[in-house]
């Protein structure tokens, strides 16, 4: 079993077509991005853990976290985190629709992809607009 | 081909892994739970922007808030553990590396989950 990946002797075996051969399409990119955002959110939980531990530790630890989180780099990471979260959430809702056996027509697949991409960007901007309003401006 | 499986095993349809579609089902179950929980936690964080430490601590120590955070941590960590296992199984080809990655995935999920739970409980139970 473990030997199957070793190089085969003689002539090159035919390979099934892989990613490089397809023209990128929105639905395909959305599927790939769903997985990438999932992976990013996986490591992003470290930030949630850090925030909660800092809050549980005390004012100094919380201050250190907040200084980093509100720096330009921290904001950039958190903005990306917000978008990844919302994109993955909307992608998940598309998957619920497909799990119920609906939305498989090509037109539906296409507009759901467009709607969730646009929705993820618009909702991320709304969340950040509200956050800045909460903080009393920039 | 002689089928070595018993009729009961065949009708259960769970194969040699004995888990059948549990993986698929739990990924969806945790996903359904994550939707409202993520919205709640995101709204909480946005509402706390600009708040001082005392306010944050008071908010996070409210029982309802603690419970909802704990639910998100449990459901979220379980969801991400299944998802990462699927990614590892798809892309990590060497058997040794695959085993190490899957162990690492489980350890990461356990450490992050437990760290978050401990912090939430400490805040909630007034540490």
> Domain for residue A48, yes or no?
yes
Which residues lie closer than 8 Å to A78 by C-beta, 6 or more apart? Answer: A47, A69
Q: How far is A89 from chain B (nearest CA, A)?
A: 7
Q: At what angle do helices A26-57 and A72-99 cross, to 10 degrees?
A: 130
- Is residue A115 within 8 Å of residue A30, measured between CB atoms? no
Could you give the CA distance from residue B64 to residue B89 in angstroms, rounded to a whole number? 38
CATH number at residue A42: 1.20.1300.10
Which DSSP helix (H) or strand (E) runs through B124? helix B95-124
> Domain for residue A95, yes or no?
yes
CB pairs < 8 Å spanning A and B: 83
What is the span of the domain harbouring residue B50? 21-124
CATH number at residue B99: 1.20.1300.10
> Domain for residue B6, yes or no?
no
> Domain for residue B39, yes or no?
yes
> Domain for residue B113, yes or no?
yes
> Domain for residue A64, yes or no?
yes
Contact B87 A39 (CB under 8 A): yes
From first to last of the 127 residues of chain B, give the pLDDT tens digit: 577 778 887 777 777 666 767 888 999 999 999 999 999 999 999 999 989 999 999 999 999 999 999 999 999 999 999 999 999 999 998 999 999 999 999 999 999 999 999 999 999 998 5
> Domain for residue B15, yes or no?
no
> Domain for residue B11, yes or no?
no
Model's pTM, two decimal places? Answer: 0.86
Count of structural domains, chain B: 1
> Domain for residue B116, yes or no?
yes
Contact B123 A45 (CB under 8 A): no
> Domain for residue A4, yes or no?
no
> Domain for residue A9, yes or no?
no
Question: Is residue B92 less than 8 Å (CB to CB) from chain A?
Answer: no
Q: Which residue in the set B38, B42, B56 is minimally distant from A55, CB to CB? A: B56
What is the span of the domain harbouring residue A113? 26-134
Count of structural domains, chain A: 1
pLDDT band at A134 (very low <50, low <70, confident <90, very high): confident
Q: CA of A45: which chain B residue's CA is closest?
A: B112
Q: Which residue in the set B50, B77, B87 is minimally distant from A35, CB to CB? A: B87
Q: What is the pLDDT of residue B21?
A: 79
Please say if the pLDDT value at position A104 is more than 90: yes
């Amino acid at each position: 079993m473990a030997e199957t990946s070793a190089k085969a002797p003689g002539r090159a075996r035919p390979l099934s077509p892989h990613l490089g051969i397809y023209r990128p399409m929105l639905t395909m990119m959305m599927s790939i991005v769903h997985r990438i955002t999932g992976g990013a959110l996986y490591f992003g939980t470290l930030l949630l853990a850090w925030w909660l531990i800092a809050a549980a530790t005390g004012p100094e630890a919380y201050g250190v976290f907040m200084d980093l989180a509100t720096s330009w780099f921290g904001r950039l990471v958190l903005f990306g985190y917000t978008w990844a979260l919302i994109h993955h959430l909307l992608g998940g809702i598309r998957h619920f629709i497909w799990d119920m056996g609906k939305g498989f027509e090509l037109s539906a697949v296409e507009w759901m992809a467009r709607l969730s991409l646009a929705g993820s960007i618009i909702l991320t901007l709304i969340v950040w607009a509200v956050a800045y309003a909460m903080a009393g401006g920039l | 081909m002689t089928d070595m499986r018993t009729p009961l095993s065949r009708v259960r349809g769970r194969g040699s892994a004995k888990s059948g579609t549990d993986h698929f089902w739990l990924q969806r179950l945790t996903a359904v739970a994550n939707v409202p929980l993520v919205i709640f936690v995101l709204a909480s964080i946005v509402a706390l922007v600009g708040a001082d430490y005392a306010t944050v601590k008071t908010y996070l120590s409210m029982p309802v808030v603690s419970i909802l955070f704990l639910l998100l941590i449990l459901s979220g960590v379980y969801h991400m553990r299944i998802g990462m296992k699927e990614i590892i199984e798809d892309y990590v080809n060497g058997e040794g590396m695959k085993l190490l990655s899957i162990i690492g995935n489980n350890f990461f999920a356990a450490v992050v989950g437990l760290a978050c739970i401990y912090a939430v409980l400490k805040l909630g139970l007034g540490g």
